[in-house]
Structure 1
Amino acid sequence: MAVTTPVVKSSHRPLILTACMLSMFMAAVEVTIVATAMPTIIGDLGGFSLLGWVFAVYLLTQAITVPIYGRLADLYGCRKMFFIGTTLFLIGSVLCGFAPSLAWMIAFRALQGLGAGAITPIATTLIANVYGPQERAKAQGYLSSVWGVSAIVGPLMGAFIVSHFPWAVVFWVNVPIGLVAMAILLKYLPPDGERKQHKLDLAGTGYLTLSVAALLLALLQAEVLGYWALALIVLSVISEYLLIRQERKTPEPLFPLALWESKVIIAGNIGGLIIGATMMGISAFLPTYVQGVLGGTPLEAGTTLALMSIGWPLASMISSRLMQASSYRATAVLGGVLLLGGSVALLFLSPDSGLWMARLAAFSIGAGMGLSNTTFLVSVQNNAEPAIRGIATASTLFTRMLGSAIGTAVLGATLNLNLQYRLPQVNDPVQQLMEKTTRNAMESHHLAAMIESVAASLHWVFMVSAIISVLAVAAGLLIPAGDRPHTEPQQES
């Protein structure tokens, strides 16, 4: 399928990159900025029992639609799909600010997620279309750095807004950012090139939606659902089987055959899955260790985690030079080694450790994320033909999101099983250690025993995370040796 890629003036490329970075920031910051504001929102709207769904429904609808938008972008054009997705996201943001109850907010968050599913994969694909293979790595490094910046800025922005403005502004702040991004692309990004008439594989889309929704619900709500989570996993497996059968017989599959014939794209998808799972080992559980075991303050936990967010964009920005000087494979393996080194460093933490070891591990893992994530993404985009670049990009991002959900479930289960084994009679020991009042009221010997048990339980979490990190190195080795950006031909028509 021939695709005509619109020609973009070199002077317009930085503006398009800026617009894509703004849109990515808008979608990336959404989770952290809302999390900071939720206590205020709950105090106003009530509905504490539904709190988890405010985040789960956004991630669920976003994850489901990422591959669908990726394929739609290939069939109907990135520009068109970007405007549709961003418009849905902004409408959902405005409505969230007017939500009269938490139930309505969950519905509007679902609409936000339906739009957010377009923003990240299509913005990333737009940059791949605008920049050639040699420039692509550097541009994607800037785009990837947005995630690190948003992780730092989001909580600070959320705290400032709820302190000085109504909580609705947390959602409405997206509107000017999104409108500026759309205005820039409307002016400087040419219309999509000519495309033949196509039909979206509706049956495949339905099976994909059912499979992903069932799996993510089972992972995100496992504690609430109990044994029903197993039924959802069975439903997901059955839907996945039906999807594969549908993809083999349909003339225009949702996931084109070329995706599964390329070793580079397969490596990128495996790498995305592993990176997503590894990331949760530090994002979710290192702050718990700092506060619960080391007795640190929330600020100390936040600054420790911030080092991961600093290491990520720094490594992303130098990944371009490393890829061109060595290869995709060498850069991805180096990223995996940094991930593994940071994960192993977490194993040396003890209740008597200082914060320096935790912060060194966080920075190393962030740098590994930056190198690995950017390398896998750029290698996939440079390997994919323009006609399937959208779904190839989306599949890599989708597997990373899926990996995050799986990692959260596996590592969370590891922690809970260890706590039940070591402290069977104690209700929520981690929360007791993290609450200063409860912690200070404990007798010294009881506090020491609980700290030791929680530390040992988290040690097993970090052990599993380190094992997953080994797979990140293996995923890098799947990339064919010698491939690098400047050896690949310019694929745009």
Structure 2
Amino acid sequence: MTGAPAIPAAPHRRLDPRMVTFLGVMAAMFLAALDQTIVGTAMPTIARDLGGVNRYTWVITVYLLTSTAVVPVVGKLSEQLGRKRVFLTAIVAFLAGSALCGLAPSMNWLIAFRGLQGIGAGMLTGTAFAVIADLFSPAERGKYTGMVAGVFGIASVIGPLVGGGLTDHAGWRWVFYVNIPIGAAVLAVLARTFPSMRRAGVRPRIDFAGAALIAAGAALLVLGASLEGTNGWGYPPVAISLVGGVALLVVALLHERRTPEAVLPPELFRSSIFSVATAVTFLMGAVMFGAITYIPLFLQYVVGVHATGSGLTMLPLMAGLVVASIAGGQVISRTGRYRIQAVAGMAAVAIGILLTTLLDARSTQAQVTPAMVILGLGLGLSMPVFNVVSQNAVPQRLMSSATSAVQFSRQIGATLGLAVMGSYFNARLTAHGGTAAHITHEQLRLAYSGAIHDVFLVALLGGALTLVISAFLREIPLRTANHPEEVREAAAVAVA
């Protein structure tokens, strides 16, 4: 009698290294995004503890300055030096900056360490979408890009809440220490799973001059915009910084035309799809952050909601952004179509801003909510589109630079947009009598209502212009596989 045949053991399914890497990248991006908002609620306590109230804003400004400066150059550098090496270095820099910020003995040291933390965060932001492009084909990237966009929305909501809770119950230093255990775990995982996507047999030819010129120009633009927000346009360093920044970027572009391995190749702009994506992203950054800044101001000063309540009422906008960005990314990946989604998203943004212009001194909190929901849905629908289409529209050798350029345009748009809208708001507040002596509370409330309404009108013009430009976005098929040279490179390297 023969025995029963052996039942083969079920094969052991290993986690897809691509998904593990993607989840690690998303976690690192979450920490970088969280740090943009978590510190704000802790700043009054930090200023009382360390002193230096007159340097209060520099803790936030220097982070924005250094993170923005490295974004346009790190994409190309990561292609030449290896994506894994640069991304892991970014995590180490971010964690080192976080630890040093928590140990800072004075405000000056905190500002310096925030600069280091910002460099790490900028390297993460500038590399992450290029990593996604290495892992997934253009047809797949939409859903993963949408998830990362959703992470930014979640971080912007919970950042102030986490920052306030940690400051009240554990001390302000834990606002920085909280990054360390999470970041260390992500670093350990990615060190094992991150594929080494580097050109085999090619010695890097790094454009140090172009990288320095672009980083310095970006830093001066951010510095000028930040100084304008605290000192006004009449402050001489504002004009010096802005003019100097533009001049350096012009010199950088002239230099890049003659450099074989340019950090920001001018030939990128030969693609109409890339040019439209960059322009829309720039304007969207300005409109998005302008609206997000002045809606809470309207709720506090006009409707009369407390500061904590005004932050919570932004949840509908962020919920719409998170849901729409994830769903929109899925739609792009499933259908391969993106033009209609981009235009629909920009139309929703314009409609949402239009609804904010209908608000006045008699408006209630409930009347603000529909505008926020529609605005969030529009931003969420459009956010996954422009990274994917810009990468799809250029050759593989330009993909890293295209990715960094789109991220850079969003950050510069947000920074300059806030400066312009802030200056316009101050002027309109004065025009509406909000800075007059012996003003009553009701007169001040009406002045704020009028000034914020005028800012929303400017944002509406920006939203309408963004919608018009997005209509010129040309649709081409999304590739279902990476470029042949990318496939060969991926096959030639080992998973580290």
TM superposition score normalised by structure 1: 0.91
The residue that corresponds to 2:304 in the other structure is 295
The residue that corresponds to 2:399 in the other structure is 389
The runs of 4+ residues in structure 1 deviating greater than 6 Å are none
Give, in angstroms, the shift of residue 425 of structure 1: 4.7
Equivalences for residues 458-477 of structure 1 within 5 A: 458-477=452-471
1:221 counterpart = 2:213: no
Q: What is the CA–CA distance in structure 2 between the aligned matches of 1:490 and 1:218, rounded to whole Å?
A: 40
For residues 303-348 of structure 1, give each alpha carbon's deviation from its aligned partner in whole angstroms, at most 9, with x where no partner exists. Answer: 2222221111111111134335472211110110011011000011
Q: What is the CA–CA distance in structure 2 between the aligned matches of 1:378 and 1:56, rounded to whole Å?
A: 30
Give, in angstroms, the shift of residue 489 of structure 1: 4.8
Give, in angstroms, the shift of residue 32 of structure 1: 1.2
**Contact 2:76–2:263, Cα closer than 8 Å, also in 1:** yes
The residue that corresponds to 1:437 in the other structure is none
The residue that corresponds to 1:3 in the other structure is none
Q: What is the CA–CA distance in structure 1 between the aligned matches of 2:474 and 2:195, rounded to whole Å?
A: 35
The residue that corresponds to 1:126 in the other structure is 131
Q: Which moved more, 1:273-282 or 1:339-348?
A: 273-282
Q: What is the CA–CA distance in structure 2 between the aligned matches of 1:470 and 1:378, rounded to whole Å?
A: 23
Give, in angstroms, the shift of residue 52 of structure 1: 0.5
Question: Percent identity of the aligned residues?
Answer: 31
1:449 counterpart = 2:443: yes
Equivalences for residues 203-352 of structure 1 within 5 A: 203-222=209-228, 223-224=230-231, 226-323=235-332, 324-325=334-335, 327-352=337-362
Q: Which moved more, 1:412-421 or 1:218-227?
A: 218-227
For residues 37-76 of structure 1, give each alpha carbon's deviation from its aligned partner in whole angstroms, at most 9, with x where no partner exists. Answer: 1122112111111011000000000000011111101212
For residues 212-260 of structure 1, give each alpha carbon's deviation from its aligned partner in whole angstroms, at most 9, with x where no partner exists. Answer: 1222111111143713311222212221221121111222211124412
The residue that corresponds to 1:141 in the other structure is 146
Amino acid in structure 2 at the alignment position of 1:209: A
The residue that corresponds to 1:409 in the other structure is 419
**Contact 1:345–1:357, Cα closer than 8 Å, also in 2:** no
Give, in angstroms, the shift of residue 188 of structure 1: 1.5
Which of the residues 178, 185, 191 maps onto 1:180?
185
Which of the residues 96, 103, 119 maps onto 1:114?
119
**Contact 1:219–1:405, Cα closer than 8 Å, also in 2:** yes
Q: What is the CA–CA distance in structure 2 between the aligned matches of 1:415 and 1:136, rounded to whole Å?
A: 39
**Contact 1:20–1:124, Cα closer than 8 Å, also in 2:** no
The residue that corresponds to 2:385 in the other structure is 375
**Contact 1:342–1:364, Cα closer than 8 Å, also in 2:** yes
Give, in angstroms, the shift of residue 488 of structure 1: 5.4
**Contact 1:333–1:472, Cα closer than 8 Å, also in 2:** no
**Contact 1:282–1:362, Cα closer than 8 Å, also in 2:** no
Q: Which moved more, 1:49-58 or 1:302-311?
A: 302-311
Amino acid in structure 2 at the alignment position of 1:490: N
Q: Which moved more, 1:240-249 or 1:285-294?
A: 240-249
Which of the residues 63, 79, 86 maps onto 2:84?
79
- Size of the aligned set, in residue pairs, is 467
Q: What is the CA–CA distance in structure 2 between the aligned matches of 1:82 and 1:275, rounded to whole Å?
A: 27
TM superposition score normalised by structure 2: 0.90
The residue that corresponds to 1:56 in the other structure is 61
Which of the residues 141, 160, 163 maps onto 1:158?
163
